[in-house]
Structure 1
Amino acid sequence: MRPLLLAAGLVAVVAAPSLADPALTVAPSVMRRAANPYSPIVQTVPVNAEVDIQSCGGAWCYGSWRGLYGFFPAFAVAQGALPPTVGFAPPPSSFVVTAPVVVAPPPPVVRWGGPYVGVGWGWSRW
């Protein structure tokens, strides 16, 4: 009877992490040891990290990420079906091509450089 209970306990311990619900973090957050904001930090978790949530209650969720267990703030976790990770993005529906912007220097200033034409050129009384 004792080996049977030991085997059942071992199966429960091994199977417990597989019962966790997958979730994504929607905000950068920290995993803490206890469910309060003053508890020591276990690790920091970036946005869009896939975490395993075992239970949520109030403002905290208990789960794991990268093999470490702790409490996440509930606002930073989005539970439910994860988006597919395999596949390609659909091509854009249309392309908009615009003309390139050309920046040119200002036109040169034209100054008169030819001969003087008119009356009274040279030294005279006028």
Structure 2
Amino acid sequence: MALDSQLTGNAGLYYCCYHLSLLGWNVMPTARNARGVDIIAYSRDATRKLAIQVKALSKRSPVPLGTSLEKVMGDVWVIVNKVTSSPSAFILLPSEVKELAHRGEKDGRVSFWLQPISYDRECFKEKWERIGHG
């Protein structure tokens, strides 16, 4: 099944919300296509909160990071690939995203990408425990 990018993003976002809820977090997706993080989560006792960036992909693809790594924000990054067939989530810290980012240049324009070989690793795959319980 093929989805457009908006629906792919929604599927990845709610996949992430589902898993966070199972960990005991109260989750609130933010406004779609707004700048900033995609999910605000807070613990059951409301003493801890997390800002989560979600990147959803229809297949095992590179994750576009933009023209600068300064835009890498949030407390946690969740990359969900293959959302329409067999979703897998990869849990990374923003510092890991920046460290693993690939710098590309085409026609004088710089862009940053997170290649599948960098994020699709056992140390990140379905490691929801890196986030902890809410």
TM-score by length of 2: 0.20
Whose helix proportion is higher, 1 or 2?
A: 2
TM-score by length of 1: 0.21
